[in-house]
Amino acid sequence: MNNITVIIPIHKFNKETDLNYFNAAYDSVFKNSQYFDGTLKLAVVCPETVSKELIELGKENLNIIINNGKTDFCSQINFAVEQIDTEYFSILEFDDTYTDKWFASVQEYSYGNEDVSVFLPINVHYESENGARQYCNEIVWANEFSKELGYIDFDCLENYSGFNLTGGVFNTEDFKKIGGLKSSIQVAFNYEFLLRLTNKKLKCFVVPKEGYIHLLNRTDSLTDEYEKSLTSEMVDKWFEVARSEYAYTTDRNITLNFKQEVLK
């Protein structure tokens, strides 16, 4: 694992409110370069209007992938993955950061685990207002949670869905082979992807290191948009969709009808 592209998806950017977040995300990538025995590339995927603002920042080693198509999170990632040339990639939200030695840790655990398709970090989630912190992805290190300690498998996913993909390191070809992320599935697209991955007998391993710092409840974040637009009933139904759609490699563009459940 010598070359990794870090993909930052941005669909809109406000310098007054977002610049400090972006600077911290950018810096966290290149701090990792001090410890990672390989090359880290950074690519922002965004509409052309956003690219002009980012170019004005004068950042070095920043590749901008212009996407004038669909700019939802999943579509942006899928589009960017088609443009990169590295064996692995990672996803970084612009208001989040990596811990300084995350990629060195992934590299260490990749030796002897070349058949792993996705390496996830233990994510640290925090609330900007009150500083509250909680962990995500660490549950697979509990005894008997999954068949093999540290690995997410299909059986454990049938009972637990609370995993986060951001910060993870993905094998690019495996990601493409199983169809990428499904943009039609709201809220539960992370869960559906892991169900699909493990159902196809590909491996997902959680590195037992804090690797990613994730901000919660930022205004205009994806989570904020979901909270404003989706009821708890809608969220539950999207997870039901995920539990059936994992069987299909392609995105079937499922829509929800709350009188007749799922329209196909």
The Cα diameter of the chain in Å comes to: 55
Q: What is the pLDDT of residues 64-104, one digit of tens each?
A: 999 999 999 999 999 999 999 999 999 999 999 999 999 99
Q: Provide the pLDDT for residue 264.
A: 45
Q: What is the pLDDT of residues 218-258, one digit of tens each?
A: 665 566 666 666 788 888 899 999 999 999 999 999 888 75
Give exposure, 170-195, as e/b (b: 16+ Cβ within 10 Å): bbbebbeebbbbbbbbbbbbbbbbbb
Provide the residue type at 263 as one letter. Answer: L
> How big is the chain, counted in residues?
264
The β-bridge partners of 124 are: 135, 213
175: helix, strand or coil: helix
What gap in Å lies between CA 61 and CA 50, rounded to an integer? 17
User: What integer is the mean pLDDT of 164-191?
Assistant: 96
What gap in Å lies between CA 119 and CA 154, rounded to an integer? 16
The answer, as to whether pTM is greater than 0.75, is yes
Q: Provide the pLDDT for residue 260.
A: 42
Residue 45's pLDDT band, with cuts at 50, 70 and 90, is very high
User: What integer is the mean pLDDT of 126-154?
Assistant: 89
Q: Provide the pLDDT for residue 223.
A: 65
- Over the chain, what is the mean pLDDT? 91
Contact 105/191 with Cβ under 8 angstroms?
Answer: no
**Residue closest to 194 by CA, chosen among 226, 256, 242:** 242
- Whether the per-residue pLDDT at 166 is higher than 80: the answer is yes
The β-bridge partners of 248 are: none
Q: Provide the pLDDT for residue 63.
A: 94
